[in-house]
Amino acid sequence: MRKLFAIIALATATAAAAETAVNNSQQRTSFADSIIASYTDSLAIIVDAYTNPQPHRVVFSPYLFRLLSQGTLYNAALTQQMAQQQTLTMPSSLPSLGSKADYQLLLVEASNNQLARAYTAAPQLFTATQQQLTESGGLRTDITAPIVEEVKLAQKVEEETPDVEVEAVEPEVKKPNFWTFKGNGGLQFTQNYVSKNWYKGGLNSYTMLSILNVEANYNNQRKVSLSNKFEARLGFQTAENNVPKFRPTDNLLRFTSNLAIKAIGHWNYAAQLQLQSQPYRGYQGASKTVISDFLSPLYVRSSIGMDYNIKKKRFDGVLKLAPLSYVITYVHVDSRVTRYGIHEGHNSKHDWGPNLQFTFNYKMTKDISWQSRLYWFSNFKSTLIENEHTFKFTINKYLSANLFLYPRFDDTRFWGLDFKKDADGKVTDQLSDDSARRTHWMFQEYLSIGLNYDF
């Protein structure tokens, strides 16, 4: 610190001597030349003063120019002095390695403080101002852009491009596949055996149920979706003395196709077509009377309306509202047409009316799921309600148990046949068949366990 103050004092004295030399010298013709000469002379004096057998290793900073040149009133020193509340001093040593202190900033602040002290202690030494220095051309402030060194590169060598024969390749365009396919199949059965001399008596019996569900769905992820589902269920029961040997316990073939076009939110414009029949003939109770067969009956149901989709974490359902629905009932065997509300001499009937459907799949637990289907149709004279419930209990990947519940209300089969006209033309409520036809509520249930496979 003492050395720096000595340098500053020496520089101040040299600046005063230089000022006198400027006034007397005839070779220095400008104010700027005198400042440069004074600065050069001051540096030479300092170097001579430190020339000794063991010279100090001092690195001079260009920021000391103001202390070594002709006495000048600098704006920065005056501005800093007025802005600060306390005087800054030079640090006792340079910042250590890794320090965040700005040494050059500290040096400038200390130089400004030293100039401010000199302005007060020896004002007669400062005969010029910064404005005069700038106007004389000795201090340039117009250099703002950094100096960019122009590097001349050698002449670019032309690279030789090897002759490579590129075979034309036809781009392969892969269209997205909007179709998804899935299915489920199951085979479930029970067996019972008793010997002929079993003390409680009984009959040997076998029960088998096969289930197949296949779906092919299309969805372009924009507006149009098409779902197709085929369901087949066929169950048999055999027992000794049965005539015929096999009697169906479940008997269904059903194909459903639904076209939906996006409307707004969860709503879609929808059109549905459904075909339903059975693959095997059915019997009236334990008798030999055949009451149904393949295509006897065949239901063709079509409807137009709106769909509302409900999708939750474990619940997926669709509500269908169709103000216009058209149902065709066809019976292939002439002797059974009257059983399904068709007049003799005809094989089909046609009904119009509103239709409502609600189907859902609810994943109750990891291994228990509930599938339900509700179908309601009315021609404003009779009503059909079907409500199917299937509870699936998954044991492992290949074993499962099913509980099927199917309540049904149907008074459409005998509408128009249960009423006759008497001799006077009045309509009576006399039945055209036995009174059992008035029992419109029906119910089916089965519980089975067996093989199951999803694909």
* pLDDT tens for each residue of 372-422: 999 999 988 889 999 999 999 998 888 888 899 999 998 876 654 444 445
In this predicted model, what pLDDT tens digit does every residue of 178-226 receive, in sequence order? 899 999 898 888 777 777 777 667 778 888 889 999 999 999 888 999 9
Mean pLDDT on 150-161: 60
Residue 127: pLDDT above 90? no
179-454: CATH number: 2.40.230
Of 378, 278, 381, 260, whose CA–CA distance to 327 is shortest? 378
Those residues whose C-beta lies under 8 Å from the C-beta of residue 441, and which sit 6 or more positions away, are 407, 408, 409
Task: Tell me what the mean pLDDT of segment 27-45 comes to.
Answer: 54
Overall average pLDDT of the 64-88 stretch: 72
Sign of CA dihedral 76, 78, 80, 83: negative
Q: Please report the pLDDT score of residue 27 as a whole number.
A: 40
CB 352 within 8 A of CB 377: no
> Is the C-alpha dihedral spanning 261, 267, 269, 274 positive or negative?
positive
pLDDT(161) > 50: yes
What are 369's two structure tokens?
């799921």
The predicted pLDDT at position 222 comes to 85
The per-residue pLDDT for range 74-83, each reduced to its tens digit, is: 888 878 777 7
Q: Give pLDDT, residue 179.
A: 92
**What CA–CA distance (Å, rounded) separates 212 from 453?**
10
CB atoms within 10 A of CB 5: 11
Q: Which of 150, 164, 69 is nearest to 111 (CA)?
A: 69
- SS3 letters across the chain: CHHHHHHHHHHHHHHHHHHHHHHHCCCCCCHHHHHHHHHHHHHHHHHHHCCCCCCCCCCCCHHHHHHHCCCEECHHHHHHHHHCCCCCCCCCCCCCCCCCCCHHHHHHHHHHHHHHHHHHHCHHHCCEEHHHHHHCCCCCCCCCCCCCCCCCCCCCCCCCCCCCCCCCCCCCCCCCCCEEEEEEEEEEEEEECCCCCCCCCCCCEEEEEEEEEEEEEEECCCCEEEEEEEEEEEEEEEECCCCCCEEEEEEEEEEEEEEEEEEECCEEEEEEEEEEECCCCEECCCCCCEEEECCECEEEEEEEEEEEEEECCCEEEEEEEEEEEEEEEECCCHHHHHHHCCCCCCCEEEEEEEEEEEEEEEECCCCEEEEEEEEEEECCCCEEEEEEEEEEEECCCCEEEEEEEEEEEECCCCCCCCCEECCCCCEECCCCCCHHHHCCEEEEEEEEEEEEEEC
Decide if pLDDT at 85 tops 50: no
Least confident residue range of 84-88, 351-355, 363-367, 438-442: 84-88
Q: What is the pLDDT of residue 284?
A: 80
**Residue 368 CA: distances (Å) to CA of 215, 390, 392, 449:** 21, 10, 6, 14
The per-residue pLDDT of the chain, averaged, comes to 76
Segments of the chain assigned to CATH 2.40.230:
179-454
pLDDT at 365: 93
Residue 70 binned pLDDT confidence (cut-offs 50, 70, 90):
confident
How many percent of the chain have pLDDT more than 90? 28
Amino acid 413: pLDDT: 65
Closest CA to 304 of 328, 269, 266: 269
Cα torsion angle, 140, 145, 146, 150, sign: negative
Arithmetic mean of pLDDT, 256-264: 94
Question: Looking at residue 334, what is its pLDDT?
Answer: 85
At residue 411, the pLDDT reads 81
Q: What is the pLDDT of residue 285?
A: 73
